[in-house]
Each structure stands twice: as C-alpha cells, then as structure tokens.
Structure 1
Amino acid sequence: MAETDRSVLDDAWGRIPHTREGQAEQGSFTQTRIERVITLIVGPGSLVLGAQAFAAAFGPGDEAEGWHVPLVLAVFLPLLAMIVACTIGRFARVFSGIFAVVFVLALALWPIATAGGPPPAPTENPWIFYLINVATVATVVAFPISLQITWTVAAPLLFGVVRLVQAGGRSEFILPIALDVTFALILGSVLLTLGWMYRSIAANVDQARASAVSSYASAAATAATEHERVAVAALMHDSVLGALLAAERAATPRERTLAVSMAREALTRLANAEKDPLEGSDEPVAALRLADDLEAAARELGVELTVARAVEEGTPRVPGRVARALVLAALQAVANAVQHADAQGLTVLLTGSTTPGGVAVRVRDTGPGFDVAAIPADRLGIRGSIDARLAAVGGRSEIDSHAGGTTVTLEWESGDRW
C-alpha cells in the first residue's frame, strides 16, 4: 500500500505545471517561490540604499587619510556581489552572508579608521549609516532567524557605540545617535518580521498542500484496491470457476481439450489482471521484437535497459500472446531486480535458436539473492506474474538465486503446445 500511495502522490505531483525554478521538493513548492521573491526584493532595495550610501561616500569623509578608499571598496564590492546574486537567483545566500559579516567588521573598525580624521558633525551621518538596514535585510536571505534577530539588534547598537567613540562621547551627539539607532532598529525589525511572516505562510501552505495530496493519494489507493478486488472477484467467477466446472464435467477428449484451453485462458487473464490494456492481436512477431518491447516497457518504469540480442537467423516467429507473456514476465523480473537488488549488475539477454526452435530471455543481477523456497504463499510477484504467466502460454520459467546473484530464465519453444 505504501508503494501505491507513493505512486499516486507522484502522479498527482506530475500534473502540476513546473517552471524552471519550480523543480523543488514536493514539500517546499511555495517556500521555494517565496525565497525567490525575497531575493528579488532584496536585490533592487539594496541597490537603492547602496546607491545612496555610495553617493554619500563621494563627499567629505570622516575617515583618516588612507582609510577611506580601502574601507569603501571592502564594503561596496561584497554589496555589489550580493545585489547581482539576488537578482539572478544564484549564490544569493553566500554573498548576502559575506556582506553582512563584512559590514559588521567595517563598523567595528570605524573608530580606528576615523581616528585622527576631521571632527564629525552631529547632524550629518557618515556613508556607512545608510547600509545598516541593508546588512539587516542581507541576513534575512542568508541566515536563520536567530542570527537575523542578532544582526537586527546588534548592527544599529554597534553603530551607536562606534559613532559615540568617534565623537569622543560629546553630549550633543547623544540625541541624534539615539534617534538614528532607534530608526534603524524599527526599520530592521519590520523587514525581519515581514520575511519571517511570509516564510511562515509559505510553510503552512506547503504543509496544507502535502496533507491534501496525501489524503487524495490515500483515497485513490483505497479506490484502486477496491476496484482491483472487484475485478479479480469477477475474473474468478467468470473465468476460473468456469474452467473448473468445465474440467469437472469433461468426459470426452474434446471436452478435456476445451477445459484445458479454458484453464489456460483463465491463467493468462489472471496473470494480466493488473494490466489495463487489452491483450491485443495474436499475430506472430519477430523474435527481436521482444527485446524492443522489453526496453520500451522498462523505460516506462523509469529503468534504462539495453537488452543484449543473440538471435540466430531463422528463429521462428513468436505468437503475439506468447511474446506479450515473455515481455511481461521479464519486466517483472527486472522490477524485482531493481527493487530487491538495486539493479546491481542487471543484464538482460534475448536468445533465439532454430533448433529446437524457440526463444529465451535471461534476466541476471548480482544482488544478495534470496531463498526461492521461502517465498510466502501470498506473494504473487513470482508465482503469478512469472510462473503462471509462462505456464499459461506453454512456456517455462526457472529461477536460480544464491548469494552471488539471481538469474531468471524464461523459455518458449515453437514445438510447445500453448
């Protein structure tokens, strides 16, 4: 049932249109888009504030001689990289984190860089002030919520401290600096809260979507199971019981032959009960056609398979019903190898011979193997989909499994009466 749920969930997810940036995990469909929206907002917003700070940096600076240009380059180059990364949607977290760290280091160096410089004016803010909230919003892109809060509080307070140190603690600077710090704290808190709020909403939407799809998958799986139960019950009543009654009442060779034919038909339908398409024509096909059909069927299961071919010229054509049984049985063997042996050393060989005249398909893997005799009676992956399917068309199946791997051999000879 778990595999059925997963299959239905994957099918439902596949019906949702996927954009280029939408190839994300199913549980983060909305969160991925919110993250992209945040980076698209942060990029242009940082560009505006960064341009204001850059213009202010061209005016008279507070730094001492030899400090202005290195400090400007050290701050604005990571800022430019962050803006570009947020705009194109690549490495946004990396460069945003770098800028946030570099800005705090630049603030910490500010008292040293301004020592011996021109005296500051209480009403004029240095260029670095305009980037405080840019550093705050950079943490919204780069860091978890705990570090976002730390940066939002620490960056304005650090600016206030270094600005007071630069001013020598003069009283006329206290009120302007307090206003600047308060403004930066309020704006930074608003930006942080908006980012947290939108991410929380996106997470709740994704959780609700996952719950809805899971409920749909469970309901669809239950409906599919019930449909299969009804179909098999009808098959048992119409075909299997009919064949048993015919066998019980058979008294002449002709009636026995008819009963055998009905039993084989019932086994074929039972083995193919999970296949929706009709059985198709019984027109004979070339032996090489089996390899093509098996590769195509495996591809539908998501397995890229190349079937080796060793078919002699003059190999008899294979009846359509036999060909389908061989392909479906081999596909079941391939599915078992993928599921239980992780497709280790998986190879498939199709052989055809003129004497005695027939075809064989061998599916090999180098997995851990299993005990064929220990398979529970209610497991029909081998008994129903391989053994019964081949027996229904007069073929033979053989399974050889040991610690070094498993080989499934499926054979049909043109002389067999199927």
Structure 2
Amino acid sequence: MKDPLGVPIRLETLARKRYDAVVSDIQLPDVNGEALFVEAHAAGDGLPPWIFITGYGAIDGAVRMLKLGAEDYLTKPLDIRALLDKLRAVCTRGRPAAAGEPTLGVSSAMRAIEAMLPKIANSAGTVLITGESGVGKEEVARALHRARDAEGTRPFVAVNCGALTETLLEAELFGHVKGSFTGAARDRKGVFEQAHGGTLFLDEIGDMSPAMQVKLLRAIQERQIVRVGGDMPIPVDIRLVCATHHDLKKMVEAGEFREDLYYRIHVIHLHIPPLRERKEDILWLTDRLLARCATESGGVVRRLHRNAEKPMLDYPWPGNIRQLKHVLERACILSTQPVLTPELLFGELPVPLDDEVAESLSDHLHACERRYIESALRANRWRMAETAAALGISRKNLWEKMKKLGIAGEEG
C-alpha cells in the first residue's frame, strides 16, 4: 500500500500519521482488501475513514467491512464525483476518536462527536444538540454527562418540552408549592432542582412557547428559579444541554424563537446526522440493539440473515435509530428463529428503491415517513397522544407531520 506520492505505508503507521482518509479496492493486486482493513484495524486505534471500492459481485464483502467500522463503499464503474463528495465530507469532519470502544457509533461523524465530549465535559457552556427526530440526541447528552461524571454520582434529568402543555411544563421545570393549583397537594421540586449538581437535558426546546422561553432565559441568566406559586428564589447549579429537530436560526428569523435565548443555548453546538447519511452505523447499532433485546427479554441474541444486511443499509430509515429499534423489537417478538430475514424485518416497510427507479430521494423519504407514521397510528388506534409518545415526538409535531404528509386525522 502506498500514499499519493508512491511512498509505501506500513499498516501500524496509519493511526499515527495524519491521513485524512483511505480509499481501497476490495480486490488489490497483491493483497485482499478485506484482510488489509482487518489487519490495519488490529495494528492501531484511530484509523482514518476507510472507503472501499468494489464490483457489484463483491458487495457482501463491503457490507462486512461496514459492520467492522469502514466508512462507506462505492461500486464500479466508479463515479469520481461521488468519491470526491464522500472524501470532502469525511475530511471536513475530522478524525475519529483515538482510542477506546465507540459508544455512539463507528461512523466518522459519531466518532468525531464522541472525541469532542471529553473536551467540553467540564466547560460551563450550554450545549445545543441538533438533528432529526430519533437520531439519538439524548444518547449523546447522556454520553456527555458520563464524560463529566465518570463515577456516576451526579444526577441526569431529562424532559421533553414538546410533550407538555405550557402550564404543565412550567411546573415540571421549576416545581410548585402546595396549593398553587388544583391537584398541587404538596411542594414539589422541578427538574432544575432535581438536576442540581448534574445535567439537565431539555429535549425539543424549539417547541417551547414564547412565554416559557422568557422564563427559561431568566433561569439560565440568574442561575436560580422560583417555584410556581412561590416567591423564594432557589439557586441551581446545573449543566444545561438542549436539543431540537428544528432549525432554531430560521425560527429566530421568523420571530418564533427568542434571539437572546438562542445565543444563550448555542454556546457549543453538536449536530447528529440522520442515519441515512451514516449508514456505516446501521449494522453496528443493529448488533447492539439485538443484544439489548435479548437482555431485556431473557431470550437468545438474534442476528441478521446475510441477505438482510444490504436492505438494512439501503433503507433510508426516516425515523432514524428510534425506527430501527422498533423494527428490530418487532422482529424479535415475531421471530421463532435466531436469524432475522428481510421478509420479517421489512414486512410493513416500503421496499428500498432500485437505482433505476426515477423518484427523488425527498419523495421517497416522505413516502417512507408516511408509511412509518401511519403504521404507528394504526398500532395505537389513531390516538394522537399514544402515537406521539411511541414516535418520541410531541402531539404538535405529529399533527404537523400528518398535515405535511397528507395523512387524514382518522383512518377512513
């Protein structure tokens, strides 16, 4: 193996030198590309992103390498523009974590996020995590908390701002005193107080009403809160992590989100790409989720049939990791065999497009998302609250998605 100048490269130097990427054919003149990757992986941690080039007949080998942590593969005849786009993307994301077992993903995007966490763990800056619904924003927030609290002695408290009405959200965030409203039979701490000394994770902050945005901004600025119905300021010491699937900058421009709050929470920004843009994580996540299913059910650890791996990689996963988890859980419940077939996994999902089908990616993603949401609605008998909870979004977001995708309010 040689570098662009023709200088031979020893495998053990790959992790030490500043190569931004490796492009390798599966079939090399003097060595097997799969064996080369496995040997390089064993020679040192922190390999640069590795892209395979393969003929159609050798796709199974490329899929196996994705499962072991390769970045991506491209098929022959090689599209140079696609290769350049991929190289440009991986080279601007930075190198993966230098050592240790990955906990967020094996893609260079997730390794870069994981490598960032120790650097920002002990800073006072508020962290904003963005990404589509279901990409794993809370998992990243928890990983950041673990980087700050290795001994596990500090609290991590999470709340979905979009799942509560304004009145309930205020009491959830700041707590309430006895008698402050109907049903307030005793004093209660809010999540700000519960998270004192640890991390408070506010998910879907973009769904917060303007009035609640003002109250949150005041709490962040003053580092103290007042319980609903009370008048005594209570100091709080928290690490605030916020998350949203919205484009907050556009919301600021549209007057839907306060600019001063935006800059307060946008001190450190972490963006999680959708699963379709980091497909090298799909099989890695699948293995972890199947192991978790087995642990929770007390059953055997199931695995994918080899014919299921490519469809899993080709499917766009509009619901991201949350949808992947639901599909695998359903398959584990229904399967009587240790191997999960494509038919079992994709029985209720749209079949991935062939390359020849002239449909835009956007149209296909909308079709997949519509099927996914309709399936969830049927499973929950078209009850909005239950469906939104199953999808991990707010009822408002569910209504917005149904309107955008042309889904009627009830089956009919």
TM-score range, shorter chain: under 0.3
Larger Rg: 1
Which has more helix, going by share of residues?
Answer: 1
